Amino acid sequence: METNLRMSASDGKLLPDPTSYRSMIRRLMYLTISQPDITYTVSTLSQFLSHPTTTHQDALHNLLRYLKGTTGQGLLFSAKYDLKLMAYADADLAGCLDMRKSVTGYCVFIVDSLVSWRFKKHHTISLL
Burial class (CB in 10 A: 0-12, 13-18, 19+), 126: middle
- With contact defined as beta carbons under 8 Å apart, do 51 and 11 qualify? no
Q: What is the pLDDT of residue 22?
A: 92
Helical spans, DSSP H, in the chain: 19-31, 39-46, 54-69
Q: How confident is the model at residue 3 (pLDDT cuts 50, 70, 90)?
A: low
Say which residue, 28 or 1, is predicted with more confidence.
28
Which pLDDT tens digit goes with each residue over 56-76? 999 999 999 999 888 776 666
For residue 102, the surrounding DSSP H or E stretch is strand 101-110
Q: How far is CA 25 from CA 19, 86, 102, in A?
A: 10, 30, 23
- Those residues with Cβ within 8 angstroms of residue 98's Cβ, 6 or more apart along the chain or in another chain: 8, 9
Nearest by Cα to 117 from 90, 83, 81: 90
CA distance 113 to 29: 20
pLDDT confidence of 89, banded at 50, 70, 90? very high
Name the 3-class secondary structure at 61. Answer: helix
pTM: 0.60
